[in-house]
């Protein structure tokens, strides 16, 4: 949306033995109703049934350690009795949201330069698969980096036009959402996308669990590091998801993407691309919301001056959806704007599956002149259950583990994955 020089954020690779696959600056958002913390680096607790006892320990950093720069954080759990299994570990710093870890070994990198120097309390508890939250293990650490004021990222985001395809080949766009969790399933999807050698990658939102800075660093991944979505950083233009919001705070998302705006547009591959924010914490649930009004006006103006033959719009929560997440009814007015301006294609995430809808008009009725919606939230946080509803307008739905979208785009665009003879236009960036 605004021009400028984009500086790439340096983030750290997750220090797991096999990389098969966010905390707030200076304090964070306070969490309510956390399990009680025990003294020292270990804590033992049991559910009310006393079917087992679970001992959670922080094994690194050492108690009272002074940390400079980055350090590895590791934790373990041991269970005596009937073990239901561990669902995830929840780490906090001074009771502020820091990072959720979903896969053993529970290990990640803490960048202490994101906080002011001083003493902090690192805590962790486990959520067991039977729903029991263990008590917290806790220990103190001291950050010492010569930082006395809250760190700020002053870099400016510039949308990337991606790379230029070789002569006679289509401009390949890959898209996926809901996958930044650091699990091995994420790596499987990333490797699949990498095999397509895309020119552009659209991330459709959600870095788990709360889009905090350490979750972006560790789970979305460092720019260029294979096996996580950060591998595609240099060719990526994101849209924000609901998991990036803690209340109204999106600091992890903004820092990682160099202060990306809520909505922006650009031209590349002979197409016009528009990224929007339709999360209710931003645009609310009524058309009178100030952010909704501003975004709708901006969108209308942007599409009015668009001179590209095809337009792709992407945002996180779908209006048309048969999955368990339901429909983003606050986006109905936005959809009308898209249909009135003959937008070609809409991409969404949020529901953890793949759905492709027939072309529908401004009111959601089938129309050969309408807009196609594709839901692609299979990036791959988890697998969704069968559809909670049905629709005759739904062309296809898949709950397979790996269902990212690949779009070989040419102009004119007539049908997904159909290659038309006309070659793509040269990439050209549009900022507004």
Q: Is the pLDDT of residue 6 over 90?
A: no
Q: Is the pLDDT of residue 404 over 90?
A: no
pLDDT of the residue at 214 = 98
Over pLDDT 90: what percentage of the chain?
72
Closest of 44, 33, 151, 149 to residue 92, by C-alpha: 33
Q: What is the DSSP letter of 299?
A: H
Angle at 215 between CA 280 and CA 109, to 5 degrees: 165
Partners of 30 in the β-ladder: 96
Over pLDDT 70: what percentage of the chain?
81
List, for residues 136-192, the tens digit of each pLDDT value: 999 999 999 999 999 999 999 999 999 999 999 999 999 999 999 999 889 989 999
d(CA 61, CA 74): 7
pLDDT of the residue at 396 = 82
pTM of the complete model: 0.85
pLDDT-derived band at 11, boundaries 50, 70, 90: very low
**pLDDT, greater one: 90 or 37:** 90
E strand or H helix at 298: helix 290-305
Domain ranges of the chain: 25-143, 171-409
CB burial of residue 427 (10 Å; 0-12, 13-18, 19+) = buried
pLDDT of the residue at 23 = 26
Inter-CA distances, 407 with 28, 57, 165, 243, 320, Å: 39, 46, 13, 26, 20
**pLDDT, greater one: 405 or 111:** 111
Q: Is the pLDDT of residue 9 over 60?
A: no
Partners of 79 in the β-ladder: 54
pLDDT of the residue at 157 = 98
User: DSSP letter string over 241-297?
Assistant: -GGG-BTTB-HHHHHHTTS--SSEEEEETTEEEEE----HHHH-SSTT-HHHHHHHH
List, for residues 313-325, the tens digit of each pLDDT value: 999 999 999 988 8
User: DSSP letter string over 11-74?
Assistant: ------SS----PPGGG-PBPSSPPPEESSSEEEE--TT-SEEEEEEEEESPTT-EE-SEEEEE
φ, ψ of residue 25 to 5 degrees: the values are -65, 130
**pLDDT, greater one: 404 or 1:** 404
User: DSSP letter string over 173-225?
Assistant: EEEE-S-BS-SHHHHHHHHHHHHT--SEEEE-S-BTTT--HHHIIIII--TT-
Cβ partners under 8 Å of residue 15, min gap 6? 72, 107, 108, 109
Q: Is the pLDDT of residue 207 over 50?
A: yes
Average pLDDT over residues 30-37: 47
φ, ψ of residue 45 to 5 degrees: the values are -150, 165
Closest of 212, 224, 238, 180 to residue 9, by C-alpha: 224
d(CA 211, CA 214): 8
List, for residues 283-321, the tens digit of each pLDDT value: 999 999 999 999 999 999 999 999 999 999 999 999 999
pLDDT of the residue at 428 = 31
Q: Which residue has the tokens 């690194």?
A: 60
pLDDT-derived band at 409, boundaries 50, 70, 90: low
Q: Which two tokens stand for residue 173?
A: 């766009």
List, for residues 344-392, the tens digit of each pLDDT value: 999 999 988 889 999 999 999 999 999 999 998 878 766 555 556 688 8
Looking at domain 171-409, its CATH superfamily turns out to be Metallo-dependent phosphatases (3.60.21.10)
Cβ partners under 8 Å of residue 427, min gap 6? 161, 162, 164, 171, 267, 268, 269
d(CA 420, CA 168): 11
Q: Is the pLDDT of residue 412 over 50?
A: no
CB burial of residue 163 (10 Å; 0-12, 13-18, 19+) = middle
pLDDT-derived band at 245, boundaries 50, 70, 90: very high
d(CA 350, CA 242): 8
Neighbours of 68 (CB within 10 A): 13
What CATH number is given for 25-143 in this structure? Answer: 2.60.40.10
Q: Which two tokens stand for residue 346?
A: 């809409």
List, for residues 118-134, the tens digit of each pLDDT value: 999 999 999 999 999 99
List, for residues 51-95, the tens digit of each pLDDT value: 999 999 999 999 999 999 999 999 999 999 999 999 999 999 999
Average pLDDT over residues 246-265: 97
């Amino acid at each position: 949306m605004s021009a400028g020089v984009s500086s790439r954020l340096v983030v750290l690779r997750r220090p797991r033995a096999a990389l098969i696959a966010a905390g707030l600056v200076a304090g964070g958002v306070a969490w309510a109703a956390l399990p009680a913390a025990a003294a020292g680096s270990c804590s033992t607790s049991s559910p009310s049934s006393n079917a087992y006892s679970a001992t959670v320990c922080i094994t690194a950093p050492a108690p009272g350690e002074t940390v400079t720069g980055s350090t590895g954080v590791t934790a373990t759990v041991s269970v005596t009795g009937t073990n239901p299994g561990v669902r995830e570990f929840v780490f906090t710093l001074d009771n502020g949201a820091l990072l959720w870890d979903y896969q053993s070994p529970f290990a990640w990198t803490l960048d202490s330069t994101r906080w002011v120097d001083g003493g902090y309390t690192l805590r962790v508890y486990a959520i067991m698969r039977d729903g029991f939250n263990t008590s917290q293990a806790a220990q103190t650490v001291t950050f010492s980096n010569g930082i006395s004021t809250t760190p700020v990222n002053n870099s400016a985001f510039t949308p990337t036009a991606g790379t230029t395809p070789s002569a006679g080949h289509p401009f390949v766009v890959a898209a996926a959402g809901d996958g930044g969790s650091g699990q091995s399933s994420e790596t499987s999807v990333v490797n699949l996308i990498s095999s397509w050698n895309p020119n552009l990658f659209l991330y459709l939102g959600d870095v788990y669990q709360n889009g905090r800075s350490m979750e972006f660093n560790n789970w979305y991944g460092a720019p260029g590091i294979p096996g996580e979505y950060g591998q595609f950083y240099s060719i990526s233009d994101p849209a924000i998801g609901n998991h990036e919001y803690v209340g109204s705070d999106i600091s992890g998302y903004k820092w990682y993407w160099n202060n990306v705006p809520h909505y922006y547009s650009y031209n590349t591959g002979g197409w016009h691309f528009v990224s929007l924010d339709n999360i209710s914490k931003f645009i609310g649930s009524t058309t009178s919301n100030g952010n909704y009004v501003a975004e709708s006006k901006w969108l209308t103006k942007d599409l009015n001056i668009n001179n590209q033959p095809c337009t792709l719009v992407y945002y996180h929560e779908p209006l048309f959806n048969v999955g368990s997440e339901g429909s983003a009814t606050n986006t109905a007015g936005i959809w009308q704007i898209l249909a009135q301006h003959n937008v070609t294609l809409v991409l969404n995430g949020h529901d953890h599956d793949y759905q492709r809808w027939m072309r529908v008009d401004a009111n959601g009725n089938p129309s050969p002149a309408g807009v196609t919606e594709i839901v692609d939230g299979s990036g791959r946080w988890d697998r969704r259950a069968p559809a909670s509803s049905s629709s005759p307008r739904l062309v296809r739905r898949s709950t397979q583990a790996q269902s990212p979208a690949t779009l070989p785009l040419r102009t004119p665009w007539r049908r997904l994955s159909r290659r038309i003879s006309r070659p793509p236009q040269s990439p050209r960036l549009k900022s507004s």
